[in-house]
Amino acid sequence: MKYLILIICFATHSLFAQNFTKEIAKHRALYKNEFLTDKNSPLKKEDLKFLQFYAANPSYKVKTYFTKTIDTTGFDMLTHSGKIKKYYVFGFVIFTLKKQVCKLFIYQSEQLKTTKGLEDYLFIPFTDETNSTATFGGGRYLDFKEKDIVNNQLLIDFNKSYNPYCAYKGGYNCPIPPKENDLKITIEAGEKLFLKAVQE
């Protein structure tokens, strides 16, 4: 009986891993296609082969606990081009990853708050210990909507973290992650360095 239970547990875990890998593969296929449909895209079809990603890893999909922040003033977030963009602190999340308690702030763009269809767009720019070695030195991004926060909880999947356009080409106003969103751990998930940039 004990061995039967072990076999069932192993089969269940294996099926979960396969399904998760398929989910991330589908997400990345859609992500790549957006470069071909966005008129402001820095990449062409022939550039897509230079995109690199960590293998899908479900351990980087974490439950976080959200706290709302009342920010009516906002602040200036610097971009890689030197331009300033105004953001509001929407709140922050606390979670445990790699046996460390981590904290990330969630921001809301002043511009998008007044853009029809994007009013509930939320943004987490972050840096970690992989930057400039395995991932873009300027950090990576995660996107959410307000409805993703349920009962003061937000599910974050770092496998879906992506590079700003500045990782591929200059001239874009990509926000620089604030110091408060610097994680003192390695996030070996999501998008890696743009291979073409590394080769050049």
Residue 14 within any structural domain of the chain: no
CA dihedral for 168, 173, 176, 177, sign (positive or negative): negative
Degrees to nearest 5, angle at CA 116 with 164 and 66: 60
Residue 181 within any structural domain of the chain: yes
Residue 102 within any structural domain of the chain: yes
Residue-wise pLDDT for 151-169, tens only, equals 999 999 999 999 999 999 9
Residue 149 within any structural domain of the chain: yes
Residue 37 within any structural domain of the chain: no
Degrees to nearest 5, angle at CA 194 with 141 and 80: 50
Is 127 strand, coil or helix?
Answer: strand
Residue 115 within any structural domain of the chain: yes
Is 11 strand, coil or helix?
Answer: helix
Residue-wise pLDDT for 31-80, tens only, equals 999 999 999 999 999 999 999 999 999 999 999 999 999 999 999 999 99
Residue 28 within any structural domain of the chain: no
Residue 38 within any structural domain of the chain: no
Range of the domain at 74: 45-199
Split into its structural domains, the chain has a count of: 1
